[in-house]
Structure 1
Amino acid sequence: MQDFPNLPHDFPGENVDLAPDKAPVWMHRLIERIQAGKMRDPLAGAKPIDTSDADKRAAVLMLFAGSETSFDLPNDASVLLTHRSPTMRSHAGQIAFPGGRVDPTDVNAVDCAFREAWEETGLDRRSATPLAQLKEVHIRATGYPVYPILGHWHSPSPVAVASPRETDEVFDAPVYDLIDPANRLMVGWNQWHGPAFRINDYIIWGFTAGLLSTILETAGWATEWDQDRIYDLDNTLTKSRNNENLR
């Protein structure tokens, strides 16, 4: 990773314990439903593989920010996202949560998610609270397990593109933009179809969109949107900023 002097150093091994009791009130219902097992599998149908190979395991950080106001979703609620560089060998051009493979030196999945977020965006892990670890989900194409870590960005710190080889944009996506029915759609490719989002002229789809959609539904933040019409994924991506090729 290139060293950017304006970004903080990481603190490996720190802030790795889940603290659901520190969730802001507007995230309480989400945490309670996750703990009660009321969150559906966002990628149901993916075939799991043996998780004993550490090289095949990964973690992602779903980091939500928003002021403490009431039980209602705050107007400034947002989630941290990245655009993967189109030159990447895998998932090039996709919108993604910060994340990556678990390293042998990572204490746990939380440690991995924070380390990867630092490597990609310069996130100061001390500015966020890990709230919950979701059940592992499996990438549909490979079956590899991914551990989603839900966090609250209680003191948003400066972030930027810290590793141009991996990402070329880092941004906060407003949750109210994501739940706007005008920005939601179903996309399909071959025999697959799933939820997607429009944001900043990008298309969020696949693994990231599945997780986001499930989080919004579980928290009770989602509003009704058209799930009947299925847009061709290839054509939809061609009209976006993703710079992504399915072929």
Structure 2
Amino acid sequence: MTQVPHWLIRLADQSQRLSVPRYLRPPDGRGRRAAVLMLFGEGPYGPDVLLIQRSRRGRRHPGQPAFPGGGVDPEDGGPVEAALREAEEETGADPRGVHVLGTLPELYLHHSDNRVTPVVAWWREPSAVHAASPDEVDSVERVPIAELVDPANRFTLRLPTGIAGPAFQVRGMLVWGFTAMVLDRTLGAGGLDQPWDTSRVTEMPPESLTARRV
């Protein structure tokens, strides 16, 4: 069992005060409720976060790295329960070893019409993880925070539409879109961010275009 680190406590304390960009603010009366689990832990290479690579055969964001998560079902009782359930279904993570610290403000994804609540948690007792739902998940990775904040792994990614945002190249994954935006903001709020060259712009690779729906 490991103790919650100070940086994660600070992030949880600030979670509901994080600013939400106008384009991510949920509209009144629209959107399907969803939740994702931002599960931080102490791994073999220091603090890390659990990410999945979605299946290219899947219906939701095919081929895109993401936090485990999905829709909030009526029987879930709320976003926390939904995030834990989805993480267990997708990665096998045992929810009994997860300590939930709080939630971030609800964010709206226009393309999928989802109102997503990121749930911040500490992996108090890590369990083995794998692609537990092959139809939805290709692989599961515990990505070290040190690799995410390394300036060499960070850049601005520009989509064919001209829209650009933060991105990470870690563990053979191109992390972009919603997941990259949330990571960018939460790493900064936790005081872990390092200065990086935001003017370094990379075009979306052709092989990733099938995962353009964010």
- Are the aligned partners of 1:51 and 1:144 in contact in 2 as well (CA < 8 Å)? no
Q: How does 1:15-164 map to 2 (within 5 A)?
A: 23-35=4-16, 37=17, 39-41=18-20, 44-46=22-24, 48-51=26-29, 56-66=32-42, 76-164=46-134
Counterpart check, 1:229 vs 2:207: no
Count of matched residue pairs = 210
Distance 1:34 1:161, change over 3 A: same
- Other-structure match for 2:170: 199
Deviations 1:76-116, CA, capped at 9 Å, x for gaps? 10000000000112310000100000101002110000000
Structure 2 Cα separation of the partners of residues 115 and 137 of structure 1:
20
Structure 2 gap ranges (5+): none
Structure 1 Cα separation of the partners of residues 185 and 24 of structure 2:
16
Distance 1:155 1:227, change over 3 A: same
Structure 1 Cα separation of the partners of residues 171 and 149 of structure 2:
14
Matched to 1:45, the amino acid is Y
Distance 1:26 1:60, change over 3 A: same
Matched to 1:212, the amino acid is L
TM-score computed with the length of structure 2 as normaliser: 0.90
- Are the aligned partners of 1:49 and 1:144 in contact in 2 as well (CA < 8 Å)? no
Q: CA deviation at 1:130?
A: 0.5
Structure 2 Cα separation of the partners of residues 232 and 96 of structure 1:
20
Structure 2 Cα separation of the partners of residues 48 and 172 of structure 1:
30
Matched to 2:40, the amino acid is F
Q: How does 1:176-195 map to 2 (within 5 A)?
A: 176-189=146-159, 190-195=161-166
Greater share of residues in strand: 2
- Other-structure match for 2:180: 209
Q: CA deviation at 1:168?
A: 1.0
Matched to 2:176, the amino acid is W
- Are the aligned partners of 2:92 and 2:129 in contact in 1 as well (CA < 8 Å)? yes
Q: How does 1:6-21 map to 2 (within 5 A)?
A: none
Deviations 1:142-181, CA, capped at 9 Å, x for gaps? 4421011000001111111111000010110000000000
Matched to 1:225, the amino acid is W
Moved over 6 A (4+): none
Structure 1 Cα separation of the partners of residues 111 and 125 of structure 2:
36
**Cα RMSD between the aligned structures?**
2.2
Structure 1 gap ranges (5+): 1-21, 68-73
Distance 1:87 1:119, change over 3 A: same
Q: Secondary structure at the match of 1:93?
A: coil
- Answer with 1 or 2: which has the greater Rg: 1
Q: Which of the residues 165, 176, 191 maps onto 1:220?
A: 191
- Are the aligned partners of 2:15 and 2:105 in contact in 1 as well (CA < 8 Å)? no
- Are the aligned partners of 2:57 and 2:135 in contact in 1 as well (CA < 8 Å)? yes
Deviations 1:48-86, CA, capped at 9 Å, x for gaps? 334466xx110000000028xxxxxx9610000000000
Matched to 1:46, the amino acid is L
Structure 1 Cα separation of the partners of residues 33 and 63 of structure 2:
22
